[in-house]
Amino acid sequence: EAGVAQSPRYKIIEKRQSVAFWCNPISGHATLYWYQQILGQGPKLLIQFQNNGVVDDSQLPKDRFSAERLKGVDSTLKIQPAKLEDSAVYLCASSRYRGNTIYFGEGSWLTVV
């Protein structure tokens, strides 16, 4: 089966600009996650969706980050305005249900200059 698809793979923007990342999870997976991975660290959860509803967004910096999964399939993560410290890999992941094994996409690599 096809894996988790993400785009774009790489993005360079100036601080205060905006950026959006797109994710298409594995077919049939109800749970979708966005993780942020800063260089040299493990991934950290930003937001978790169950179908089109938010399950956990406690670590999402809501003043600048937003995410949606309107039809319960694809998802978009937006950063506006970006800060230098937002430079990281944004990983989308999915699982069939909550508590099932989580599979990751290749990531979207953001550099804010």
Partner 1 sequence: GQQLNQSPQSMFIQEGEDVSMNCTSSSIFNTWLWYKQDPGEGPVLLIALYKAGELTSNGRLTAQFGITRKDSFLNISASIPSDVGIYFCAGQPGGSQGNLIFGKGTKLSVKP
Q: Scanning residues 8 to 37, which ones bind partner 1 (CB under 8 A)?
A: 31, 33
Instruction: Pick from 12, 55, 84, 113 the residue near partner 1 by CB under 8 A.
Output: 55
**Are the beta carbons of 35 and 46 closer than 8 angstroms?**
yes
CA–CA separation, 21 vs 9, rounded Å? 9
Q: Which two tokens stand for residue 6?
A: 């993400």
Asked if residue 57 binds partner 1 (CB under 8 A), the reply is no
Instruction: Pick from 7, 45, 66, 72 the residue near partner 1 by CB under 8 A.
Output: 45
Q: Scanning residues 75 to 94, which ones bind partner 1 (CB under 8 A)?
A: 89, 91, 93
**Are the beta carbons of 31 and 94 closer than 8 angstroms?**
yes
Closest-CA residue to 84 (of 20, 22, 36, 17): 17
DSSP 101: P
Q: Which of 22, 104 has the CB closer to partner 1?
A: 104
Residues that bind partner 1 (CB under 8 A): 4, 31, 33, 40-45, 48, 50, 55-56, 89, 91, 93, 95, 97-107, 109
